[in-house]
C-alpha cells in the first residue's frame, strides 16, 4: 500500500506537470564569501602580527651592544661609531661634482644611486653631532680594532674612543687602563659615592625642604584662620622662625656634606680620547657604563644587555628622556590604570545594574542606553578638555579653596593630576563597562533569578547573591577592555596631568603617601616625547621601540592577570548540566 | 472557607467533586483571571487547595497550568504587562492585596521548577540559600537544615561526602532533588512543583514521586504534570484545565476512573482531540 503511493507520487513529475530540476546556485553555497571572510581575517592577522614583530624585534635588539667600526675615508679622515642603519640615496649634483670620474661613472651605472651608512659616533660634546652619514664610495677601509671603549655618560651621551688615563683620589693610576677588573672596582666606588651625593641632595635635603614648606603652610593656615597679626598668628610666626633656623642649620650641614663628597668625587677622573685624538676628562662617577665594544664575548654582551634593561626599567630618565630608564613612566601608567579600573568598574557596574534591573524599560531608558553607547565614539581629546575644565578647574579648584587655601595661588588639585587623569579616562571607558555589564546581566538565565526569588530572596539579594556573581566574568571582560583602552590612551592625558618629566612619583614617603594630585609620567606620552619632541630624534628612535614594547608588555600583563581572574570565575560556573 | 460543594456547577461550568483534607483549606482561588497584555490566559478559575493534600494540575500544553501555579507565589509579577482579577486567599488573606509582603509570601511557598535550576555554588550553599537570605549564620542550624533537606529529598547518601563541591557538577536528577531540598529548606507551608520530573529518567522520577508521597501530609503540594500515571499515583485531588479554564476538579481516583465530563475522560484516556 505505502510503496504504491510513493510510486504514484514519483510518477507525477515525470508526467510533465512539475518538471523542474532543483539546482543549487554557486551564490547559495557561499563558498566565494568564505574566501573573502578568510582573506579578511588573514589580512588583519598579518597586519597585527607584523606590527608586533616589528616592535618586538626593534625593542629587543636595541640594548644589545654592537661593535664599534673604525671607518677610514678616502680623504684620510677616520671615524669610529656603531653602524646604525644603511640606505640607498641619490647624491645631488653638487655632491657629484666633488667626486672623481670613476666614482661618478659607478654611480651613474647604478642609476644615479649610491649607498651610505649611518654611524653613531657619540662624542656630542666634541663633534656637536651624534650621528654621521658615510657614503659607500667615500670608504677606503673599515676595521674593528680592539681597545675601543663605548662609554655611556650621565651627560652628553656616549663617548666612543680609548682610555688615556685614570686618576683615583688625585693619584694617577695608568695601570687601571689595562686592568678592566680594577677599573670596574674604582668605577663602582665612584658610582656609590655619586649615589650617596644624590641621596643627600634629593632625599635628605628634600625632607628638610618638605618640612620647611609644611611649617610655612602652617603659618599661612593660622593667618587665614585667625587673621594677620592676631596673637595666634604671632605665636605661629615665632614658632616658624625657630623651626626655620633649625632646618636651615640642617640644610647647611647636609649641603656641606654633599659639597665635601663632590670635591672628593672630583678627584677621581677618567681621561678619554676620541679617534681623532681629542681628549676629554670627566669624573669617573659620571660614567654610567663602559665596555670595550669590540672585545666582548657573548656572555659579556649579555651582561651589558641585561644591565641596560635593568637600568631602563628601574631608573629615572636623563638627557631629556632619551637615556636612562622609564621607571616613573611605568609606575605612572600602572598606577593610573589601576585607579582607572578602581573608578570605572564600580561606576559602570552600578549604572548598568540600574539600567538593566531597576529602570522601567521604556523610551527614556532606550535613549539613555543609546547615548551611553555613543559616548564611546566621542574623540578622546574632547574628554581631555572636559577633564581639564571640569575635574581640574572646577572640582579641583573647589577642593583647593575648601581644603588647601593656604597653598593658593599655587594649585594643589586645581591642575592636572593623576586622579583627574584617571577620572577622565574612566569617563572615556565607562560605556564599555556599561555595555558589557548589561549584556552579562541579560545573559543570566531567568530560571536562576526565579529560583532565588522563589526562595524568598528580595530583588536586591537575588542580584547580590546570584546575578552579579554569575555575570562577573562578563563584567570582567568589560573591565579588561576598558583597562586596555585606558592604558593606551594618551591624547586626553596630555591635558589633564601627564608631563614630560615628573619631579616626584605619585607614591612616596611623605604623608599621605599617595599623592593623587601630582602630575605623572606615562609610557604612551613618553613614546611621543622621546620619538618626536627631543633634540636628537635619531637617538630616540630605538627608545621609541623599547618603550612601545614595554607599554605593550605592561598592558598585556595587566590584561592577562585580569583574564586569569575571569577564567577562574568562569570555571566556577561551568558545570555539566546533565 | 469557600463553600464549594461536590458537583457544584459554577457559571463557568467547572465540575467539582473534591476530596476534603482534615486540616481545612490552604488556598482558595476565586474567579481568578489573568491577562498577558491583551491575551487572557486564565478565565475565572475557582478552586480550593486542601491543606496537607497533594493537588495535581493536568491539561494540554498551553492551557495555563504554569500560569496558575506561578500566580500562587506571585512569580508572575516579574512579567511586564501582566494583569489579574479575582482573589487568591492564603490563610484568609488575598495575596494580590497591594499591602501583601510578596517576599514573606514566597518564604511560605517553596517552588520547584520544570528544569532544575541549582545556583552556581556548592551543594551546601544551595540548600541553605533560603536561610542565608534570612540572615541565618549559625553553623549548627545550617548543617542541620542541609542534612534534613537532603534526606527529605533522598539525596543525602549520594552527596554527603561532597557537600562543598559545586552543585553544577551533579546529574540532572540529582540537581532536581537538590532543588526540592532547597525548596523545603526554608520550611514552607506549600510546595509548588511545575513538572518536576519532565527532565528526569524513570528511576529519578520514581524517587521524586516517593519523595512527594513522603512529604504529603507535612506540606500542601501542588504539582503540575503531563504524566497521567504520575498524577494518579501521587495526588489526592486533580484539576483538569483546558484553554485557560478549569474544567473539572475532583478526587483523583474519580477523575481517572470515572470523570464527570466527557472532555476530562477524553484527556485522561489519551483520546483528546
Ligand atoms: N510570559 C508570557 N507572556 C505572554 N504569554 C504567555 C506567557 N507565558 C505564558 N503565556 C501564554 O499563556 C498561556 C498559558 O501558558 P502556560 O505556560 O501557563 O501553559 P502550560 O499549561 O504550563 O503549558 P505547558 O504544559 O506546555 O507548560 C499560553 O497560551 C502561553 O502562550
Ligand atoms: Mg508549563
User: Which CATH number belongs to the domain containing residue B230 in this structure?
Assistant: 3.40.50.300
Q: How confident is the model at residue A518 (pLDDT cuts 50, 70, 90)?
A: confident
Residues B41 and B159 in one domain: no
Residues B92 and B212 in one domain: yes
Q: How far is the CA of A434 from the centre of ligand 1 (A)?
A: 33
Q: For residue range B115-169, what is the model confidence (pLDDT) as tens digits?
A: 899 998 899 999 999 999 999 889 999 999 999 999 888 889 989 899 998 888 8
> Is residue B223 in a domain?
yes
Alpha-carbon distances, residue A73 vs A76, A87, A115, B115 (angstroms): 5, 18, 14, 87
Name chain A contacts of B168, Cβ cutoff 8 Å: 573-577
Our measurement of the distance from residue B139's CA atom to the centroid of its chain's CA atoms, rounded to an integer in Å, reads: 30
Contact A455 B182 (CB under 8 A): yes
Q: What is the pLDDT of residue B107?
A: 92
Contact A159, A270 (CB under 8 A): no
Domain end: B187, B219, B238, which one? B187
Q: For residue range B89-110, what is the model confidence (pLDDT) as tens digits?
A: 998 889 999 898 999 999 999 9
Nearest Cα neighbor of A385 from A340, A414, A416 is A416
Question: How confident is the model over A270-276, as a mean pLDDT?
Answer: 89
Q: Tell me which residue in A453, A456, A572 faces B186 most closely, judged by beta carbons.
A: A456
pLDDT at residue A9 above 70?
A: no
pLDDT at residue B87 above 90?
A: yes
Q: Report the SS3 class of residue B17.
A: strand
Residues B42 and B61 in one domain: yes
pLDDT at residue A2 above 50?
A: no
> Is residue B107 in a domain?
no
Q: What is the pLDDT of residue A174?
A: 84
Q: What is the pLDDT of residue A437?
A: 94
Domain A162-289 has CATH 1.10.287: yes
Residues B5 and B69 in one domain: yes
Pocket of ligand 1 contains residue B76 by CB under 6 Å: no
Q: Which atom of ligand 1 is nearest to the CA of B244?
A: 14
Neighbours of B54 (CB within 10 A): 26
Contact A516, A419 (CB under 8 A): yes
Which domain does B181 fall in, by range?
118-187
Residues B225 and B130 in one domain: no
Q: Tell me which residue in A448, A454, A461 faces B75 most closely, judged by beta carbons.
A: A454
Neighbours of B259 (CB within 10 A): 22
Q: What is the pLDDT of residue A41?
A: 94
Name chain A contacts of B103, Cβ cutoff 8 Å: 456-458
Contact B169 A466 (CB under 8 A): no
Residues B95 and B200 in one domain: yes
Q: What is the pLDDT of residue A214?
A: 86
Contact B119 A466 (CB under 8 A): yes
User: Which residues face B242 on adjacent strands?
Assistant: B245
> Element (H or E) spanning A343, and its range?
helix A327-353
Question: How confident is the model over A410-414, as a mean pLDDT?
Answer: 78
Higher pLDDT, A7 or A365: A365
Contact B172 A577 (CB under 8 A): yes
Question: How confident is the model over A61-77, as a mean pLDDT?
Answer: 90
What predicted TM-score, i.e. pTM, was given to this entire model?
0.80
**Domain limits, chain A:** 69-145, 162-289, 327-522
pLDDT at residue A294 above 60?
A: yes
Q: How confident is the model at residue B9 (pLDDT cuts 50, 70, 90)?
A: very low
Higher pLDDT, A500 or A292: A292
pLDDT at residue A577 above 80?
A: no
Tell me, letter by letter, the H, E, C secondary structure of A510-543. CCCCECCCCCECCHHHHHHHHHHCCCCHHHHHHH
- Site to substitute for ligand 1 among B32, B33, B41, most atoms within 8 A of C-beta: B41
pLDDT at residue A573 above 70?
A: no
Residues B149 and B211 in one domain: no
Q: What is the pLDDT of residue A21?
A: 80
Q: Give all strands (DSSP E) within A359-488, no chain letters.
A: none
pLDDT at residue A4 above 60?
A: no
> Is residue B111 in a domain?
no
Residues B138 and B206 in one domain: no
Q: For residue range A519-558, what is the model confidence (pLDDT) as tens digits?
A: 888 888 888 888 877 766 677 788 889 999 998 888 888 8
Residues B181 and B199 in one domain: no
Q: How confident is the model at residue A511 (pLDDT cuts 50, 70, 90)?
A: confident
* Whole-number Å distance between alpha carbons of A38 and A63: 38
Question: How confident is the model over A188-201, as a mean pLDDT?
Answer: 91
> Is residue B242 in a domain?
yes
Question: How confident is the model over A62-91, as a mean pLDDT?
Answer: 89
Q: How far is the CA of B222 from the centre of ligand 2 (A)?
A: 13
Alpha-carbon distances, residue B251 vs A149, A218, B3, B19, B257 (angstroms): 106, 89, 17, 5, 10
Higher pLDDT, A152 or B201: A152
Beta-carbon contacts of residue A457 (< 8 Å; ≥ 6 apart)? A465, A466, B103, B129, B130, B133
- Beta-strand pair B82-90/B25-36: antiparallel
Q: What is the pLDDT of residue A576?
A: 41
Chain B residues contacting A via beta carbons under 8 Å: 73, 75, 78, 80, 103-104, 106-107, 109-111, 113, 115, 117-120, 129-130, 132-134, 166-169, 171-172, 179, 182-183, 186, 199
Name chain B contacts of A569, Cβ cutoff 8 Å: none
Tell me, letter by letter, the H, E, C secondary structure of B20-56. CCCCCEEEEEEEEEEEECCEEEEEEEEEEEECCCEEE
Question: How confident is the model over A160-187, as a mean pLDDT?
Answer: 87
Question: How confident is the model over A252-276, as a mean pLDDT?
Answer: 90
pLDDT at residue A18 above 70?
A: no
* Whole-number Å distance between alpha carbons of A239 and A212: 12
Residues B38 and B80 in one domain: yes
Residues B181 and B193 in one domain: no
The count of domains in chain B is 2
* Whole-number Å distance between alpha carbons of A128 and A131: 9
Q: What is the pLDDT of residue A452?
A: 94
Query: Which residue's alpha carbon is at the smallest distance from atom 2 of ligand 1?
Result: B36
Domain end: B187, B221, B236, which one? B187
Q: Report the SS3 class of residue A83.
A: strand
C-alpha cell at A333: 601608567
> Is residue B16 in a domain?
yes
Q: How far is the CA of B81 from the centre of ligand 1 (A)?
A: 14
* Whole-number Å distance between alpha carbons of A175 and A219: 60
pLDDT at residue A30 above 80?
A: no
Pocket of ligand 1 contains residue B66 by CB under 6 Å: yes
Residue ranges of alpha helices (H) inside A62-144 are 93-97, 101-109, 124-127
C-alpha cell at A380: 578622546
Q: For residue range A127-138, what is the model confidence (pLDDT) as tens digits?
A: 888 888 998 888
pLDDT at residue B8 above 70?
A: no
Name chain A contacts of B182, Cβ cutoff 8 Å: 451, 455
Residues B215 and B228 in one domain: yes
Please give the CATH architecture assigned to the domain spanning A69-145. Answer: Roll (2.30)
Domain end: B136, B156, B187, which one? B187
Our measurement of the distance from residue A515's CA atom to the centroid of its chain's CA atoms, rounded to an integer in Å, reads: 20
Q: Give all strands (DSSP E) within A103-172, no chain letters.
A: 114-120, 131-135, 139-143, 149-153, 159-168, 171-172
DSSP tag of B219 = B
> Is residue B109 in a domain?
no
* Whole-number Å distance between alpha carbons of A11 and A159: 97
pLDDT at residue B6 above 60?
A: no
Name chain A contacts of B201, Cβ cutoff 8 Å: none
- The three-point CA angle A124-A68-A307 to 5° equals 85
Nearest Cα of chain B lies from the Cα of A548 at a distance, in angstroms, of: 42
pLDDT at residue B200 above 70?
A: yes
Beta-carbon contacts of residue A216 (< 8 Å; ≥ 6 apart)? A240
User: Which residues face A287 on adjacent strands?
Assistant: A153
Length of chain A: 578
> Is residue B108 in a domain?
no
Q: What whole-number percentage of chain A has pLDDT above 70?
A: 95
DSSP tag of A156 = S
Alpha-carbon distances, residue A93 vs A97, A98, A104, A114, A526 (angstroms): 6, 9, 10, 13, 40
Contact B182 A447 (CB under 8 A): no
Interface confidence, given as ipTM, is 0.90
Query: Cell 667600526, residue?
Result: A69
Q: What is the pLDDT of residue A362?
A: 86
Please give the CATH architecture assigned to the domain spanning A327-522. Answer: Orthogonal Bundle (1.10)
Question: How confident is the model over A42-49, as a mean pLDDT?
Answer: 95
> Is residue B236 in a domain?
yes
Mean pLDDT taken over chain B: 87
Query: Which residue's alpha carbon is at the smallest distance from atom 25 of ligand 1?
Result: B61
User: Which residues face A520 on adjacent strands?
Assistant: A498
Amino acid at each position: 500500500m505505502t510503496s504504491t503511493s510513493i510510486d504514484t507520487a514519483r510518477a507525477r513529475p515525470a508526467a510533465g506537470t512539475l518538471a523542474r530540476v532543483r539546482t543549487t546556485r554557486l551564490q547559495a553555497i557561499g563558498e566565494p564569501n568564505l574566501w573573502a571572510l578568510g582573506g579578511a581575517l588573514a589580512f588583519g592577522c598579518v597586519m597585527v602580527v607584523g606590527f608586533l614583530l616589528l616592535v618586538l624585534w626593534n625593542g629587543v635588539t636595541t640594548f644589545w651592544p654592537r661593535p664599534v667600526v673604525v671607518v677610514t675615508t678616502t680623504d684620510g679622515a677616520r671615524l669610529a661609531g656603531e653602524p646604525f642603519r644603511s640606505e640607498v640615496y641619490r647624491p645631488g649634483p653638487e655632491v657629484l661634482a666633488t667626486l672623481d670620474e670613476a666614482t661618478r661613472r659607478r654611480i651613474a651605472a647604478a642609476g644615479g644611486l649610491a649607498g651610505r651608512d649611518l654611524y653613531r659616533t657619540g662624542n656630542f660634546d666634541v663633534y656637536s653631532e651624534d650621528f654621521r652619514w658615510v657614503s659607500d664610495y667615500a670608504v677606503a677601509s673599515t676595521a674593528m680594532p680592539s681597545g675601543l671603549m663605548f662609554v655611556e655618560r650621565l651627560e652628553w651621551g656616549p663617548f666612543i674612543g680609548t682610555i688615556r688615563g685614570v686618576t683615583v683620589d688625585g693619584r694617577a693610576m695608568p695601570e687601571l687602563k689595562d686592568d678592566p677588573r680594577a677599573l670596574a672596582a674604582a668605577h663602582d666606588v665612584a658610582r656609590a659615592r655619586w649615589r650617596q651625593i644624590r641621596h643627600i641632595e634629593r632625599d635628605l635635603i628634600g625632607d628638610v625642604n618638605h618640612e620647611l614648606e609644611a611649617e610655612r603652610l602652617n603659618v599661612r593656615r593660622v593667618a587665614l584662620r585667625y587673621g594677620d597679626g592676631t596673637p595666634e598668628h604671632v605665636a605661629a610666626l615665632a614658632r616658624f622662625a625657630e623651626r626655620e633656623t633649625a632646618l636651615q642649620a640642617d640644610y647647611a650641614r647636609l649641603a656641606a656634606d654633599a659639597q665635601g663628597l663632590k670635591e672628593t668625587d672630583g678627584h677621581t677622573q677618567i681621561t678619554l680620547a676620541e679617534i681623532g685624538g681629542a681628549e676629554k676628562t670627566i669624573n669617573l662617577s659620571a660614567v654610567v657604563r663602559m665596555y670595550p665594544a669590540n672585545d666582548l664575548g657573548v656572555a659579556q654582551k649579555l651582561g651589558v644587555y641585561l644591565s641596560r634593561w635593568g637600568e631602563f626599567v628601574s631608573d629615572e630618565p636623563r638627557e631629556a628622556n632619551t637615556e636612562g630608564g622609564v621607571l616613573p613612566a611605568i609606575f605612572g601608567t600602572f598606577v593610573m590604570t589601576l585607579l582607572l579600573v578602581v573608578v570605572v568598574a564600580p561606576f559602570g557596574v552600578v549604572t548598568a545594574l540600574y539600567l538593566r534591573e531597576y529602570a522601567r524599560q521604556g523610551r527614556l531608558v532606550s535613549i539613555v542606553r543609546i547615548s551611553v553607547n555613543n559616548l564611546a565614539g566621542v574623540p578622546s581629546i574632547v574628554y581631555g578638555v572636559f577633564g581639564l575644565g571640569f575635574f581640574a578647574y572646577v572640582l579641583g579648584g573647589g577642593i583647593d579653596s575648601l581644603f588647601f587655601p593656604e597653598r593658593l595661588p599655587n594649585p594643589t588639585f586645581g591642575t592636572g593630576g593623576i586622579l583627574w587623569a584617571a577620572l577622565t579616562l574612566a569617563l572615556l571607558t565607562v560605556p564599555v563597562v556599561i555595555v558589557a555589564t548589561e549584556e552579562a546581566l541579560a545573559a543570566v538565565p531567568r530560571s536562576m533569578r526565579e529560583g532565588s526569588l522563589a526562595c524568598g530572596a528580595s530583588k536586591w539579594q537575588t542580584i547580590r547573591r546570584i546575578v552579579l556573581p554569575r555575570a562577573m566574568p562578563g563584567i570582567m571582560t568589560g573591565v579588561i577592555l576598558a583597562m586596555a583602552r585606558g592604558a593606551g590612551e594618551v591624547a586626553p592625558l596630555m591635558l589633564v596631568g601627564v608631563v614630560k618629566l615628573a619631579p616626584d612619583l605619585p607614591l612616596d614617603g611623605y604623608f599621605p603617601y599617595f599623592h593623587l594630585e601630582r602630575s605623572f609620567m606615562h609610557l604612551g606620552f613618553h613614546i611621543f616625547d622621546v620619538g618626536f619632541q627631543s633634540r636628537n630624534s635619531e637617538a630616540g628612535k630605538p627608545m621609541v621601540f623599547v618603550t612601545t614594547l614595554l607599554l605593550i608588555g605592561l598592558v598585556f600583563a595587566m590584561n592577562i592577570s585580569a583574564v586569569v581572574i575571569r577564567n577562574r570565575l568562569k570555571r566556577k560556573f561551568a558545570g555539566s548540566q546533565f | 472557607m469557600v463553600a464549594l460543594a461536590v458537583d457544584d456547577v459554577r457559571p463557568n461550568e467547572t465540575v467539582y467533586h473534591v476530596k476534603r483534607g482534615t486540616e481545612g483549606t490552604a488556598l482558595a482561588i476565586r474567579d481568578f483571571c489573568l491577562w498577558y497584555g491583551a491575551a487572557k490566559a486564565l478565565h475565572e478559575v475557582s478552586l480550593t487547595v486542601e491543606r496537607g493534600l497533594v493537588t495535581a494540575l493536568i491539561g494540554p500544553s498551553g492551557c495555563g497550568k504554569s500560569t496558575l501555579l506561578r500566580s500562587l507565589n506571585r512569580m508572575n509579577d516579574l512579567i511586564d504587562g501582566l494583569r489579574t482579577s479575582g482573589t487568591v486567599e492564603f490563610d484568609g488573606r488575598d495575596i494580590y492585596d497591594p499591602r501583601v509582603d510578596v517576599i514573606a509570601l514566597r518564604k511560605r511557598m517553596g517552588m520547584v521548577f520544570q528544569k532544575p535550576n541549582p545556583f552556581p555554588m556548592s551543594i551546601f550553599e544551595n540548600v541553605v540559600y533560603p536561610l542565608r537570605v534570612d540572615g541565618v549564620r549559625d553553623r549548627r542550624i545550617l548543617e542541620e537544615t542541609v542534612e534534613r533537606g537532603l534526606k527529605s529529598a533522598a539525596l543525602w547518601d549520594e552527596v554527603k561526602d561532597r557537600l562543598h563541591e559545586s552543585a553544577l557538577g551533579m546529574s540532572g536528577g540529582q540537581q532536581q532533588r537538590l532543588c526540592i531540598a532547597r525548596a523545603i529548606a526554608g520550611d514552607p507551608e506549600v510546595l509548588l512543583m511545575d513538572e518536576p520530573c519532565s527532565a528526569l529518567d524513570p528511576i529519578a522520577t520514581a524517587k521524586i514521586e516517593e519523595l512527594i508521597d513522603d512529604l504529603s501530609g507535612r506540606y500542601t503540594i501542588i504539582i503540575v504534570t503531563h504524566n497521567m500515571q504520575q498524577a494518579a499515583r501521587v495526588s489526592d485531588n486533580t484539576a483538569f484545565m483546558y484553554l485557560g479554564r478549569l474544567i473539572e476538579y475532583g478526587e483523583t481516583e474519580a477523575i481517572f476512573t470515572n470523570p464527570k465530563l466527557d472532555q476530562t475522560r477524553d484527556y485522561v484516556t489519551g483520546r483528546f482531540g
